[in-house]
Structure 1
Amino acid sequence: MTFNQLKPEVSKILSFDNASPDEKLTNVCELLQKNISYYDWVGFYFANEAEKTLHLKAFAGEPTDHTVIPFGKGICGQVAVSNNNFVVPDVQAQDNYIACSITVKSEIVIPLFKDGKNIGQIDIDSNTADPFTEEDERFLEWVNEQVAKVL
C-alpha cells in the first residue's frame, strides 16, 4: 500500500469509538508494519516528564526489552530531548544507538506533539539499509498529528 492509501486506513482505526487509545495505537502499528515492506518494527513511546523516560505503549513486530528509555539515550531518547525527526540510514554508524535486534539496519523516529509539546514518538526499525525518505517523514508526521487528536 502507498502512504496515500494508508491514510484513510489510519483515520478509520483512530476514529473507532469502541477501542481504547492503546488499542488504536497498536492497530496503527500493525497496519504500518504489515503494509510497508521495510517497516519491520513499529512502536509508540510516550514521555514521563517527571522521570525523564520514554515508555513503550504499543508496538507491532518482535517484542523488545527496551520498554523504558531514558531521555538522551539511543535514537528515541535523543528525539525526546531534541524535538526533531531523526533518520538513521545505518544504525551501526551511530554511537548512541540502543540495539533492539541484530537484524535492524536503520531507524526513523518522529516526535509526537500535542498542544505544541513533545509527548512521545513513533519509532520504526527496518532490517533494510537506508530505506527511509522524506516521504516517510511527512507520512509519519501526519500519522502523529492524527494520533494526537485522539489522545
Structure 2
Amino acid sequence: MNFENLKTEVKTILSAENLSRDEKLKNLCQFLTDNIDYYNWVGFYFANHEAKTLHLGPYVGAETDHTVIPFGKGICGQVAESNANFVVPDVAAQDNYIACSFTVKSEIVVPLFVNGINIGQIDIDSHVIDPFTEKDERFLEFVNEQVAKLF
C-alpha cells in the first residue's frame, strides 16, 4: 500500500466546497474503505470532555451499537485518556476491548488533536489479524492533521 498516493485525494475530499464537515468526513471514510482493502470499518468518534464520553460521528461500515463510549472503556476510550495511538493486532487478546462484531480481528485508533486538545479520533476495524503497520499510523496521523483543519 502506497499511502503517499492517497494523501492528495484526502486533501481534495476535505477541501470540497458546498459540503458540511460531516459530509466531508463520511466521504473520507468511504474513500479509505474503498482504497485500503483491510480497512473494513472506518469512523470518527468525538469527545465530550465534560461528560467524559466519546460520541460516534460519520462512519462507513457495519452498523454499531457503540454510539457513546465512556473514556477509559474499550480501545477508543483508552485513546481518549492516553492521547496516544493504539494498535491492536488481535482484538481477541485485548482485555479492555468492546466487541463490535465477530468479523473484527484487529483495530487501530489514532487521536485527533485541534490546538493541542484531543477532540476525538479515527477508528478503523479490520477483518484481518495484524494488518496495521507504522505506515498506517503515520498515514492516519496525516489524515487527522488534515481533518483538524475543519475545526
TM-score range (shorter-chain normalised) is over 0.9
Distance between the aligned counterparts of 1:5 and 1:59, measured in 2? 22
* Corresponding residue of 1:72: 72
Gaps of 5+ in 1: none
Distance between the aligned counterparts of 2:24 and 2:52, measured in 1? 25
Q: CA shift at 1:108, angstroms?
A: 0.3
* Corresponding residue of 1:125: 125
Count of equivalent residues: 151
* Corresponding residue of 1:56: 56
* Corresponding residue of 1:43: 43
Q: CA shift at 1:99, angstroms?
A: 0.6
Q: CA shift at 1:2, angstroms?
A: 2.7
Identity among equivalent positions (%) equals 72
Q: CA shift at 1:13, angstroms?
A: 0.7
RMSD: 0.8
Distance between the aligned counterparts of 2:3 and 2:63, measured in 1? 25
* Corresponding residue of 1:10: 10
Q: CA shift at 1:6, angstroms?
A: 1.1
* Corresponding residue of 1:144: 144
* Corresponding residue of 2:82: 82
Residue 94 of structure 2 aligns to which amino acid in structure 1? Q
Distance between the aligned counterparts of 1:5 and 1:31, measured in 2? 13
Distance between the aligned counterparts of 1:70 and 1:110, measured in 2? 17
* Corresponding residue of 1:91: 91
* Corresponding residue of 1:34: 34
Q: CA shift at 1:68, angstroms?
A: 0.7
Distance between the aligned counterparts of 1:7 and 1:104, measured in 2? 26
Q: TM-score, normalised by structure 2?
A: 0.98
Distance between the aligned counterparts of 1:91 and 1:3, measured in 2? 24
**What do the CA deviations read for 1:51-91 (whole angstroms, capped 9, x no partner)?**
10000111011111111100000000000000000000000
Distance between the aligned counterparts of 1:59 and 1:53, measured in 2? 18
Distance between the aligned counterparts of 1:102 and 1:21, measured in 2? 31
Q: CA shift at 1:17, angstroms?
A: 1.6
Residue 38 of structure 2 aligns to which amino acid in structure 1? Y
Moved beyond 3 Å, runs of 4+: none
Q: TM-score, normalised by structure 1?
A: 0.98
- Give the SS at the match of 1:145: helix
* Corresponding residue of 2:102: 102
Residue 140 of structure 1 aligns to which amino acid in structure 2? L
